[in-house]
A and B are shown apart, each in its own frame.
Chain A
Amino acid sequence: MPWPKETRWLGKETPRVDGPAKVTGRAKFTSDIVLPGVLHGAILRAKWPAAHVKSVNLEKARRAPGIKAAILVNEGEFEVRYAGQEIAALAGTSKQAVLDALALIEVSAEPAAFVVKELEAVKADAPQVFAGKANLTEGAAKETGEVAAAFAAAAAVAEATVSTPIQLHQPMEPHGHTVQIDGDELTAWSSTQGVFACRDSFAKSMNFPQSKVRVTCEHMGGGFGSKFNPGVEGLLCAKLAQAAGAPVKLMLTRAEEGLAVGNRPSSFQKLKLAADAEGKLTAFEIYSVGTPGFAAGANQGGGSGGASFPAPYIYKPAATRVKQGSVAVNAGQSCAFRAPGHPVASVGMEAVLDELAVKLGVDPVEIRIKNDPHEIRRKEYALGAEKFGWKEKYRKPGASPGPVKTGVGVAGAAWMSGGRGTQAEIQVNADGTVEVRVGTQDLGTGSRTVVQVVAAEMLGLDRDRITVRIGDSRFPPSGSSGGSQTTAAVSPAIFDACENVLAELKKVSGLDDPRGANWKAACAKLGSAPLQVRGKWREGLSTGGAGGVQFAEVGVDTDMGAVKVKKVLVVQDCGLVVNKLTCESQINGGVIMGLGYALYEQRVMDARTGFVLNPTLENYKLPGAADLPEIQIMLLDMPERGVIGVGEPCTVPTASAIANAVANALGVRVPDLPLTPDRVLAALGKVPKGATGTAARPDATAGAFAAVAAAPEAEWVESNGGCHSYT
């Protein structure tokens, strides 16, 4: 790798460049953009989980005080497939005027039968989300090796049935845009993970040339995969702006965030795993079903929110049978969510692996080292176990004395990372100041700081010489921030641009090395024309394939069922560390999100009304500061591998490690995530008879697994619609 060995900035701890602006409120997020004459937009959403809409009359709303534009989402008759589906949108002079006028829109609809629970929707007689199409679709069983024979010959076979909930993205900044159409130019201020993707999407849907559309996103408050495109709300915002002839701001409410902007699909998994006497995995089988929302039926390979997921995840037993189903329900659609498919896959696989380890009497860390095909992860298990004190802490399941039992668990993750295709532009001024422009955006990972660190390192300058401008589709193009690819896509482009700057500056100034002490003198030779140089991503500076493992230590109050995570140790491979602080910050965030998945988060649907009961943060429970464990991070600094993103792998194994730690503490597995007190107490047999609880009941899951197993082995059918997109 051509990266420097001795560094001043790379791999060191650099605070976020925009930190002061963010904590003082000076940073402008989308909702802070106030244009002269801006109107407020809002969306009318269906209050039926299923209905046939015959007509929508906007006239009364259009005449309401302050209303300047009223538009329909669909022309003519259409079907409503979930409560929260967009029907119409209004723009007006105040937020309240618009909210009040929404109530004046007349919708003539015939409510229809619906189903919102996965285990009901798989039944043959369940209401169909799309009339004439089965709710349940599944891929052909994928088989490798002789599965039956391998199980028969195994020294031990373990089984596990687990479920994972629908997790909502709930970014702190809701989805939203401000759109201004001025003549033939469209400008959008978007809360987005992809300014170029948004530009292209606005251009296509609004029929504008791409050259006439500009999307900016100076700061944004999280997306986690749900902000790759303008979404229905973005395009409604643009159409309202067009209809009103005035700029429109449309930010979703917290409750809307819980309905219609994506989620992580649920899963019900029945797993079986076998090993030989040495503890080598020999056979694996899984039946699973989950819902990606109203539009099931797509084999999205886990990449964009489908209900399928990689199995047997990171392990490679020779004989495997994998059969996964996807069931449509009348609820909002999933979309990409931080490491799509992986946390779901990890929870099931790591659970059955621990059950197998117990049966074999093998230590959970040892069975992983023995079976993990990834060399780096094997090293991480060994390093982590030492640091964590695994040998001292690990006890046989349930062996911890009560009533507050402690337990430990461990799990691993893989992520492809990678990233390429970014271009960057550097302008050097005669006074020695530098502007770096790149059309990436800061999803929250610290991209702006990463750009500054790389430029400062390569040019041999103090960081304050370098102004970084990002988040604008007029800057040199960069891809969307997804797949943990931004740092690995952007850093090489900055590196390349800096090399080109130095070459040019050498020519202009006649100085052999214009960096550092020579910088000012070299720049002074520029005169009145600043130097402008471009660079682009190139091979050899970044790579993909991040592996990580995590260890968790928990205390479980067996009287009350409360789980307290005491400590999480992360051992993460991330190649060359660009900025230690923001790298660790991403890992902290990944662990916290995994903790939420393990203990708190779950979208609750009501079977009889079809509504999401907890769309807001009152009852959709995100972890808060008081819930956080000690998070210890060991970065496997491997600069020879180049830059590798860590945003996703660091959230994958957290919930699995916690669930395994809880099982280790209790000596019994709590099968359903999140591990709430009611479920812990139920697993301990402490809930009185007569109560059914919130856990998935075996008779109901058995029906679902049988349905997946029995359904014809069809090819995957096309998706009936995408996440959160304008169809």
Chain B
Amino acid sequence: MRDLTGPEGDGLMKDTINAAAPVIEARNLNLTFDTADGAVHALKDVNLTIGKGEFVSFIGPSGCGKTTFLRCIAALETPTAGTLTVNGMTPDEARKSRAYGYVFQAAGLYPWRTIAGNIKLPLEIMGFDRAEQESRVERVLELVELKGFGKKFPWQLSGGMQQRASIARALAFDADLLLMDEPFGALDEIVRDRLNEELLKLWARTEKTIGFVTHSIPEAVYLSTKIVVMSPRPGRITDVIDSPLPKERPLDIRDSREFIEIAHRVREGLRAGHGDDM
């Protein structure tokens, strides 16, 4: 596995030993889509281990398979070869045992439900009783700093607040794994910075494992304990970087030397992966 993850194999070695049972483990994962233009190799020989409590960012240009990989973990896509386990189960078993919360790029709140009603949606489907629903809604609203907004309808909230509500919805049923597919991609940079800061706090408080897809190098470096650099045609992992940054990260850490060095390495990885078409 390590030889496929690039020059950072040794750092990963230590990491794998430290984490007890991995939350996500991919071995020689392949996924090919049959399209009208022929087969598209969306994922090629992906090997990756994610330990408990890690914050893992997937970064790469469009078509590198980062979203596809996240969707495989969520059992929304089915790999065509290789093995993938989530909490030691198959992704589909993990989905059925409600192992993860998924946050999409669009908030996707139901316009006919209030914010509290939207957060209750998964709870209703999973059969929590009414009192439990109420207390959970209160708790996650506080967690994403939307206390007091439960009775508002989505259109009464800004885009950033809507996305926070959708994160609250994914947190409501206490899955240990949070999968986020470019959750802040549609927001402006100022809102994005704030939400990144809040997400780190939330991660520190809840100790969840987070898989985070992004286009943004600063976002990936700022948030992650592990950065997975991917490249397209075929979609594959070109580099895995274990971040030396401390867990406590004020926004101005982005001006530090370490931060800039990691960002540089990510950029190099992206450029190398692109080869001739850039």
Does B associate with A? no
B positions within 8 Å CB-CB of A: none
Which residues of A pack against B, CB within 8 Å?
A: none
